């Protein structure tokens, strides 16, 4: 017995982070040969998109994969972009050193964050082929391009640099390359097609990055091209300070210890977001700290008191100190219209609903959930719905079952929204696809390979709420369709049968056939609204035609309202009836009284949209008698939309979000 | 544009591994408050079990969780063991430094491997409570116990040590603690009950570690105790050298570069497993290397040639150089009997089948798959079967959907084995539970939290094969039951109806009622075998009664064979008919000829077993006419069992495994 503890202790030693990830390369997404090439492409493309966005360049990305040795499964990957390039002295660290990067401490939305991705590719390449990775980097203000080969000393987590040179890099048209990066690497990997493939990864990437131009040359030499859909770069995201609500005790201790600020108020205002001068003073008072205290000198008990004040456990004049929510200009959502566009590009279908929740906060990290649902008869009805997951505009292709976003979908009872689902749990079945995107300053993945989100109650709830709201939209769509179909059936039945009976009776009784239109109206006894939204290829406009029939015996009076994509930049055109704006995206018309048997028409067109952007218009009515084919306007909902408009307008000027408030659209939310 | 690349580069910096994991604490299993306490217990228990096994100590582990502050969700966890303890100078590194450990480079089965687990707990504790973790460590040859508090400097990945002292550590009975470790830590966490709980984790741990004594005091003060089931420690596992088949080029380059060996043959024999002197010489010749070359001096092309030789792409006299498979004494499977015992402890049921595949190799890493299936009417039939996953004797409680082991279960069409399964894919439904254990020198998890296995084709295939074989066993069981039920029904029908008809007819015709036994036999026209395996509480034996009825018109001759747990140490007793051993675990009797209407009985008992160890006996027959309730013996299968016995016997003497051969039991494999 004696001595065994010593003997065991003698075998222990420190390993380098690079040794750790070399052995655990599957943590980084290099578990199978099929996946390894997808991971490599993903890391290269993520970096290119991040760099272009940061440098405010519209990205152009070329990916090329060729088979160097089919028998030994050796592929060569070349990835080229028009990004800002990397200065010569940084190249070896970016490509040859793990945990080296710029985004680890920055609180803002970005694809890469850890400083692992591309170095992992270099490492895997070296491990499986023994070869370094070649890098060409051209920076705008240099005349020449750096050319260098990078390998890794995994025992030391340092780059091994070789063959460094400066060259002239020309484009295909013989002009000088202005700026950009080209990475060429070889690896043991297998190229495959299908649902989990480089092709699919790039296709999905183009959906959520409509500003990117992506070209892919596959191993057979076939060229795939996803053109840019919008010239608008995603909004510039700014890094923000941590918010007091998200700070842990250990972190606060370290911040105090490392602070060189002269007094608490400066420390609180400069190192945290959401802390005004007033709040800083109130925080100090509630925590019983002098505002002139140096943060560095705080004792453990003081720090604990401060944290308790942050968390509202210590009060200032009987209340928790009020803090502003963190600014949300650190986020870059895709936005509803682009999701719609992306989804309809993927799957041709009739009904699309999307939903962008307004940003909220989990542990001091702002985040935002966006969802889209596409439903149509063209898709297979007996299969599970397709799930398209994205985080910070990056498609997630593996680990679907273990992902928070999938769990949020599974937690909804989709049966009440018209989809099949065994036991009201799990992924529903039906002719539908569900898209879900999380934009966050701190996406918590289950592993370094960044393929699934780990559990987080607040994010889960947001995603679930978005699903529920979208589900209600789907149900309304299906109910409306059903109701309209029934009404139409009834109408056709009455129009066929009543005249036949009348004719028969008249013949038998030898009397003239009576005029039945009054009777039909009485039997139908309904006001019916027909809406038709179509793409006019000639005028490049969306044409909307609405007809309101009064099939009742009495005169009726209505106002009609419709939703339209005003926020997304559409312009209303050819609207001869006039009407007025009721709220952002809501237009209304007061109609003249309709006599029994009469109908009224509303026509208008929407410009500034593309095909597929707007395929269905929701019609609401104000009036006493129900209208089949339209929804009774909920005035509270209209007020809510107006209120949220104001909040959003304020946000933009103040960088402030209210907590947990939802940006509801009339479509999804009139419940 | 100019300057942006430089500006971006200036923001880049190196971060420490501890900062990385502090920010990504969810990678380590600290994503939710509920999971954090389970993760902490898991890391402590894994370490205790590993240390005890290495020091050859039967483990005694006490876990205590108490609520320090219910409102703020602060829990205190104390974990104590009787392991070898940790020498004073190593404590700070083991608890306060990430990636420090003894098992990273060792190729053998162990629970911990990365040197992350317990340091992660210390880090999470400090982050959420600001407090260090207290450690008591007593080493056998010291007189006193070290008492020390450990925290982390995450910026440097170094421990912060405080309050170090040497004390006297006494047990509850006032005796001196001989050796062991006690860790006390506080953390933000929530204690919960249910499927994912500390209780469940410890219960599952006790199933696959029957040699451990585990006590758990929950936050309500309730004491749960899982006693030791066997005094036998798992076999001692030895670290092995890497096998040439699993080496990557980059790794081989490094091994050569770092080698101080004087010649190739020494290098090959001392750094790899499976390389004999003959093989070393052949490898050199095939790679066109002089055996006297210094490995350090090898050029890249030489190393590539050597790797190609390893992989059989370069030949020695027309053939790939033959290498021994890696030894498998680096693995410690649970073994079939203990799996059975564990499963029947968990769920009370009738039918249990288990299957331990013989070790095989993936990328030079020996591994072994064990599976168990329990089936019984007592369990819910309309739910998904319960899946119990284990890796290196550690229960896996999260990420079931993303785990290779689950995928192997889902890939089997269980409908053909009598379970419900929509579309023949996914987790089946039915009154069953499936256990699957992977023992491996290199378990590839999807993340540091070690909750799901990442994709690996070879491991997947092994697990799938094990499932298929087990499934066949289940089908046989169900078919046998069904057939027996039908036969019994027929028999009862005939026995009821025929006499009634006979009586009626006799009455009508006024003639005596005929004797029908001959007719019944003719109608049944079958040989029927009844088997009954029961636990005799009095004698502490398993009693087996077999009866063979000849319900045919002719005399019949049979040999009967049965399976029994010989390998697991059972002893056959009270076997008055004698018979003979046909193979390991297979016993046979040649029966005297049975006349029409006669029956024969076989009785014996099995000692050395416990209740639940052996609940059903498979009966095989040699003979021309089918026997209902028994399986016709497949002589090839018997030969296969005999052959595998030989292989296993050779393995034990030579540390050698044949590639991909299966240890088939008659139960599961007679297909």
From the list A632, A480, A488, A485, the residue with the least C-alpha distance to A551 is A488
Residue B218 has pLDDT above 90, yes or no: yes
Residue B671 has pLDDT above 80, yes or no: no
Average pLDDT over residues B120-125: 95
Nearest to B11 among A102, A128, A422 (CB): A102
> Cα–Cα distance between A199 and A219 in angstroms, integer?
11
The rounded radius of gyration (Å) of the Cα atoms in chain A is 31
Residue ranges of A 272-301 with Cβ closer than 8 A to chain B? 300
pLDDT tens digit sequence for A549-572: 888 888 999 999 999 988 878 899
Looking at residue A671, its pLDDT comes to 30
Please tell us whether the domain made up of A17-220 is placed in CATH 3.30.565.10: yes
Number of Cβ atoms within 10 Å of the Cβ of B21: 23
pLDDT tens digit sequence for A161-174: 999 999 999 998 99
- Name A564's Cβ contacts closer than 8 Å, sequence gap at least 6: A544, A570, A572, A585, A586, A587, A606, A614, A617
CA of B3, closest CA in chain A: separation in Å?
Answer: 7
Task: Tell me the CA distances in angstroms from A650 to A152, A198, A644, B261, one per residue in order.
Answer: 50, 42, 10, 73
Q: Are A552 and A596 within 8 A, CB to CB?
A: yes
Q: Given the structure tokens 């190609």, which residue do they identify?
A: B308
Mutate one of B1, B3, B5 to test the A interface: name it (highest A CB count within 10 A): B5
pLDDT band at A2 (very low <50, low <70, confident <90, very high): low
From the list B637, B618, B620, B617, the residue with the least C-alpha distance to B558 is B620
Cα nearest neighbour of A301 on chain B: B130
From the list B211, B217, B220, the residue with the least C-alpha distance to B199 is B217
Residue B301 has pLDDT above 70, yes or no: yes
DSSP annotation string for B48-62: HHHHHHHTT---EEE
End-to-end CA distance of chain B: 71
Residue A662 has pLDDT above 70, yes or no: no
pLDDT tens digit sequence for A365-422: 889 999 998 887 667 777 889 899 999 999 999 888 889 999 999 999 999 888 888 7
pLDDT tens digit sequence for B253-290: 989 999 999 999 999 999 999 899 999 999 999 999 99
Residue B658 has pLDDT above 70, yes or no: no
Using an 8 Å CB-CB cutoff, list chain A residues near B449: 446
Residue ranges of B 181-240 with Cβ closer than 8 A to chain A? 188
pLDDT tens digit sequence for A107-129: 788 888 777 889 999 999 999 99
3-state secondary structure of B213: strand
Looking at residue B402, its pLDDT comes to 86
Q: How many residues does chain A have?
A: 671
Cα nearest neighbour of B422 on chain A: A422
Nearest to A249 among B128, B444, B457 (CB): B128
Looking at residue B662, its pLDDT comes to 34
pLDDT band at A348 (very low <50, low <70, confident <90, very high): low
Q: Report angle CA B636, B637, B643 to the nearest 5 degrees.
A: 90
Mutate one of B2, B3, B9, B160 to test the A interface: name it (highest A CB count within 10 A): B9
What predicted TM-score, i.e. pTM, was given to this entire model? Answer: 0.80
pLDDT band at B460 (very low <50, low <70, confident <90, very high): very high
Beta bridge partners of A571: A607
Average pLDDT over residues A319-339: 84
End-to-end CA distance of chain A: 72
Name the token pair of A536. 């006019």
Looking at residue A3, its pLDDT comes to 81
Name the token pair of A235. 């909004």
Average pLDDT over residues A590-595: 91
Q: Are A167 and A62 within 8 A, CB to CB?
A: no
Average pLDDT, chain B: 86
Average pLDDT over residues B511-516: 78
**Percentage with pLDDT > 70 across chain A:** 94
Q: Which residues of B597-632 are buried (b: 16+ CB within 10 A; e: fewer)?
A: eeebebebbbeebeebbbbbbbbbbebeeebbbbbe
Question: How would you classify the pairing of strands B386-391 and B432-440?
Answer: parallel
Mutate one of B53, B454, B456, B461 to test the A interface: name it (highest A CB count within 10 A): B454
pLDDT tens digit sequence for A181-199: 999 999 999 999 988 899 9
Residue ranges, CATH 3.30.565.10, chain B? 17-226
Looking at residue A356, its pLDDT comes to 85
> Cα–Cα distance between A589 and A558 in angstroms, integer?
9
Using an 8 Å CB-CB cutoff, list chain B residues near A86: 5, 9
Average pLDDT, chain A: 86
> Cα–Cα distance between A470 and A465 in angstroms, integer?
8
> Cα–Cα distance between B37 and B129 in angstroms, integer?
14
- At the topology level, CATH places domain A525-633 in Immunoglobulin-like (2.60.40)
pLDDT tens digit sequence for A436-462: 999 998 899 998 889 999 999 999 999
Looking at residue A1, its pLDDT comes to 54
Sign of CA dihedral B442, B445, B448, B450: negative
Looking at residue A346, its pLDDT comes to 60
Q: Are A637 and A670 within 8 A, CB to CB?
A: yes
Using an 8 Å CB-CB cutoff, list chain B residues near A21: none
Nearest to B26 among A17, A106, A454 (CB): A454
Nearest to B4 among A8, A55, A454 (CB): A55
**Percentage with pLDDT > 70 across chain B:** 94
3-state secondary structure of A145: strand
Looking at residue A217, its pLDDT comes to 97
- At the topology level, CATH places domain B244-310 in Helicase, Ruva Protein; domain 3 (1.10.8)
Average pLDDT over residues B129-152: 94
Looking at residue A655, its pLDDT comes to 39
Residue ranges, CATH 2.60.40.1170, chain B? 525-633
Sign of CA dihedral B213, B215, B216, B222: positive
B6 touching chain A per CB within 8 A: yes
Residue ranges, CATH 3.30.230.10, chain B? 336-475
- At the topology level, CATH places domain B17-226 in Heat Shock Protein 90 (3.30.565)
Average pLDDT over residues B304-325: 90
Using an 8 Å CB-CB cutoff, list chain B residues near A4: 54-55, 84, 140
Residue B304 has pLDDT above 80, yes or no: yes
Q: Which of A59-73, A78-92, A547-561, B364-378 has the lowest mean pLDDT?
A: B364-378
Q: Are A549 and A599 within 8 A, CB to CB?
A: yes
Mutate one of A73, A156, A447 to test the B interface: name it (highest B CB count within 10 A): A447
Sign of CA dihedral B480, B482, B485, B486: negative
From the list B638, B642, B586, the residue with the least C-alpha distance to B617 is B586
3-state secondary structure of B158: strand
Using an 8 Å CB-CB cutoff, list chain A residues near B93: 12, 14
Looking at residue B377, its pLDDT comes to 64
Looking at residue A390, its pLDDT comes to 94
Sign of CA dihedral A111, A113, A114, A115: positive
Residue A344 has pLDDT above 80, yes or no: no
> Cα–Cα distance between A338 and A372 in angstroms, integer?
10
Cα nearest neighbour of B101 on chain A: A12
Average pLDDT over residues A7-35: 87
pLDDT tens digit sequence for B386-399: 899 999 999 999 88
- Name B174's Cβ contacts closer than 8 Å, sequence gap at least 6: none
Residue B663 has pLDDT above 50, yes or no: no
> Cα–Cα distance between A241 and A259 in angstroms, integer?
14
Q: Do B179 and A1 touch (CB under 8 A)?
A: yes
**Percentage with pLDDT > 90 across chain B:** 45
Number of Cβ atoms within 10 Å of the Cβ of A228: 16
Class for the domain spanning B336-475: alpha beta
Residue B665 has pLDDT above 50, yes or no: no
DSSP annotation string for B314-358: S-BTTBPPP-PPPPSTT-----HHHHHHHHHHHS--SEEEEEEPP
Q: Report angle CA B123, B129, B131 to the nearest 5 degrees.
A: 70
Looking at residue B657, its pLDDT comes to 38
Residue ranges of B 125-164 with Cβ closer than 8 A to chain A? 126-130, 139-141, 154-155
pLDDT band at B212 (very low <50, low <70, confident <90, very high): very high
From the list A436, A456, A458, A435, the residue with the least C-alpha distance to A444 is A456
Average pLDDT over residues B315-339: 85
Average pLDDT over residues B409-437: 88
Strand order in the sheet with A541-551: A571-573, A599-607, A541-551, A526-536, A627-628
B230 or B283, greater pLDDT: B283
ipTM: 0.79
Element at B603 (helix H, strand E): strand B599-607
Nearest to B130 among A179, A250, A444 (CB): A250
Name the token pair of B204. 């599952």
């Amino acid at each position: 017995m004696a001595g065994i503890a010593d003997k065991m202790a003698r075998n222990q030693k420190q390993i380098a982070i690079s040794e750790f990830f070399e052995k655990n390369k599957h943590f980084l997404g290099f578990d199978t040969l099929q996946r390894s090439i997808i991971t490599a492409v993903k890391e290269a493309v993520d970096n290119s998109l991040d760099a272009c966005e940061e440098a405010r360049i519209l990205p152009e990305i070329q990916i090329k994969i060729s088979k160097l040795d089919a028998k030994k499964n050796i592929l060569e990957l070349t990835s080229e972009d028009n990004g800002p390039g990397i200065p010569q002295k940084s190249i070896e660290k970016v490509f040859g050193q793990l945990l080296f990067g710029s985004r680890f401490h920055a609180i803002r939305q970005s694809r890469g964050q850890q400083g692992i991705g591309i170095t992992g590719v270099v490492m895997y390449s070296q491990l499986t082929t023994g070869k370094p990775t070649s890098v060409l980097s051209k920076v705008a203000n240099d005349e020449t391009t750096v050319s260098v080969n990078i390998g890794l000393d995994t025992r030391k987590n340092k780059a091994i640099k070789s063959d460094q040179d400066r060259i002239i890099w020309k484009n295909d048209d013989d002009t000088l390359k202005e700026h950009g990066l080209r990475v060429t690497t070889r690896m043991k990997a297998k190229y495959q097609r299908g649902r989990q493939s480089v092709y699919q990864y790039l296709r999905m990437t183009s959906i959520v990055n409509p500003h990117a131009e992506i070209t892919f040359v596959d191993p057979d030499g076939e060229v795939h091209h996803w053109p840019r859909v919008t010239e608008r770069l995603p909004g510039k995201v700014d890094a923000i300070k941590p918010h007091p609500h998200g700070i842990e005790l250990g972190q606060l201790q370290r911040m105090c210890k490392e602070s060189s600020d002269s007094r608490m108020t400066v420390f609180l205002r400069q190192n945290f977001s959401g802390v005004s001068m007033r709040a800083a003073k109130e925080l100090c008072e509630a925590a019983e700290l002098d505002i002139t205290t140096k943060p560095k000198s705080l004792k453990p008990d003081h720090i604990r008191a401060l944290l308790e004040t942050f968390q509202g456990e210590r009060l200032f004049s009987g209340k928790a100190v009020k803090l502003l929510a963190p600014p949300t200009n650190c986020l870059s959502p895709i936005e509803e219209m682009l999701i719609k566009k992306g989804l309809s590009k993927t799957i041709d279908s009739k009904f699309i609903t999307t939903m962008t929740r307004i940003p909220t906060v989990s542990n001091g990290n702002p985040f935002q959930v966006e969802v889209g649902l596409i439903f149509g008869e063209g898709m297979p009805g007996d299969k599970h719905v397709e799930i398209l997951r994205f985080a910070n505009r990056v498609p997630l292709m593996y680990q679907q079952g273990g992902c928070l976003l999938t769990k949020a979908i599974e937690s909804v009872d989709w049966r009440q929204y018209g989809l099949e689902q065994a036991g009201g749990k799990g992924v529903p079945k039906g002719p539908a696809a569900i898209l879900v995107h999380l934009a966050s300053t701190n996406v918590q993945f289950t592993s370094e390979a960044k393929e699934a989100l780990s559990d987080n109650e607040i994010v889960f709830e947001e995603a679930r709420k978005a699903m529920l709201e979208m589900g209600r939209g789907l149900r309304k769509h299906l109910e409306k369709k059903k109701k309209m179909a029934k009404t139409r059936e009834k109408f056709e039945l009455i129009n066929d049968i009543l005249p036949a009976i009348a004719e028969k009776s008249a013949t038998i009784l030898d009397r003239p056939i009576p005029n039945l239109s009054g009777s039909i109206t009485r039997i139908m006894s309904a006001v019916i609204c027909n809406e038709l939204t179509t793409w006019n290829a000639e005028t490049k406009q969306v044409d909307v035609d609405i007809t309101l029939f009064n099939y009742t015996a009495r005169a009726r009076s209505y106002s009609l309202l419709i939703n339209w994509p005003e926020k997304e930049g559409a312009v209303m055109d050819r609207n001869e009836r006039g009407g007025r704006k009721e709220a952002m995206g809501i237009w209304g018309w007061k109609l003249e009284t309709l006599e029994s048997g009469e109908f009224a028409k509303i026509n208008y067109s929407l410009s500034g949209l593309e095909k597929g952007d707007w395929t269905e218009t929701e019609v609401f009515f104000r009036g006493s008698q129900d209208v089949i084919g339209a929804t009774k306007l909920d005035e509270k909902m209209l007020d809510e939309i107006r209120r949220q408009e104001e909040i959003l307008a304020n946000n933009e000027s103040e960088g402030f979000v209210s907590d947990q408030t939802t940006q509801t659209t009339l479509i999804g939310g009139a419940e």
